[in-house]
Structure formats: C-alpha cells, structure tokens
Amino acid sequence: MIKPLIAGNWKMNKTVSEALDFVKRLKEVLPDGLDRGVVIAPSFTALRSVAKETRGTVIHTAAQNLHWEEKGAFTGEISAGMLLDCGCEFVIIGHSERRALFGETNADINRKIRAALPAGLKPIFCIGETLAERESGNTFPVLEGQLKEGLKNISFDDIRQAVIAYEPVWAIGTGRTASPEQAQEAHAFIRKIIETCFGEKVSSGLPILYGGSVHPGNIDSLMARPDVNGVLVGGASLEAESFARIITFK
C-alpha cells in the first residue's frame, strides 16, 4: 500500500518569518502518530529555516525548482547540491507555471529529473493538460507524451524515488477541480503508462498526487479514489488550519 503524501506548494509567498510562524502553528495542530507524509515547498529564501524547524517531524521540505547543472554561469539558478545543503528532500519539477511562464520543455524537465535523482532529491514530477487539450479529447496523448519524455533515460532504481503529480492546468488556481472520477481516470491512465515503461512492480508502488484547486471541502472525496495517493496543494496550503484539515483527510 502506498503511504499518502500531502504536499503544499507555497509558490512566491511568505517571508522567512512568516514561513516559520506557519510551520510552528502546523506542528501544533497536527495530531500525533500521523500515518502519512507531509511536504512543504517554501520559497528559496525560507528553505533552510523551514528544513531546520521541521527536522525530526513528519514534515519534509521541498524546493520549487532546480537547474540541471551542478554549478556554473547560470545567473539566478540553483543546483541539486545547493538544495540538499539547505535541507531539502524533495523538489517540484515541471509545474505548469514553469512550463507556461518560463518556457520549460519536456526535455528541460527530463534534464532536471535526471539531475535530481542521482543527487538524492525526490522529484515531484508535474504533468497535466490544458482546457483546450481536454476539450479536444487529447488529455491522454498529452499526459503520455509528458510522462515518456520527462522520464526518458530514467533507471528502474531511480524511478522508485519519484512522485508523479497530475495537475490539470485548467484546475490550477481557478477554483475548478477535476471531479473525483476525472482524477481517478487520469491517475489510472498514468499508472498504466508507468507500468508499460517500468513494469507492474514499479507502477504499483509509485505515488501519484492530484493537484488543482484542492481544498478542505474536496479532499476526502479525492483521497477516496484508489489511484489518488495524495495531493499537491496550492492556495489552501498557505493557512495552517486549512492545510492541517487537508493533511488529516478522512
């Protein structure tokens, strides 16, 4: 059975002091003996502070991006080694905002995944279709292309450390959420593609998260689906009580 994973992507929000206040409050409201993983992805400036504050707890730290090179003349970028040095265990790769706003391609994303895994960072690899792609009946071809190109030349051993996040672009920050049935359909398809590429043993153990306007009101129905192993939360992860309710889904 795959252990549920609840991840919060703060995007460009919270100063260091605000991040620390949040984490301290979250630790207060979460119950003891939690049987699921929790990940927080703050801004780069807060990574080290958040990682230090959550050390020894069920809360893990993720970065929101990385560069595929270890070092060099790449102004404004950050490497896998630097993220590890800050205390990161996970890194979000391929988020739709990175694709749409910063022009990241499947090839770029593949290079980032291939940089993260050997370094010991667990990638949360995001895929998802736009509204136009869904309405034209191209959801599955788009997901298959993103998966196969993003995971090209990834070894069987490395893929076991990865997490897939299905985020329909039309549901991110729009208030529109894929129905539990739509989420399950997409997740089952993703798992089948992983099985085709890496085998049933890998597929059956790979966490697949849903992202896209996740909130306390829809978390229970989403997590009731057999192939939904967790969620990647945006806006609802910015408030401790809201995020705690999502973490403690029923």
Beta bridge mates, 123: 91
No. of helices (H) and no. of strands (E), the chain: 12, 8
Residue 83 CA, distance from chain mean position: 16
Catalogue the E-assigned strands of the chain.
5-9, 37-41, 59-63, 90-93, 122-127, 163-166, 208-211, 230-233
Kindly name the residue from 53, 129, 167, 187 that is annotated as catalytic. Answer: 167
60, 67, 95, 187: the active-site residue: 95
Look-up of token digits 């034209």? 136
Q: What single-letter DSSP state applies at residue 217?
A: T
DSSP letter for 3, please: P
Active site residue 167: yes
Q: Choose among 63, 200, 59: nearest CA to 119.
A: 63
What residues are annotated to the active site? 95, 167
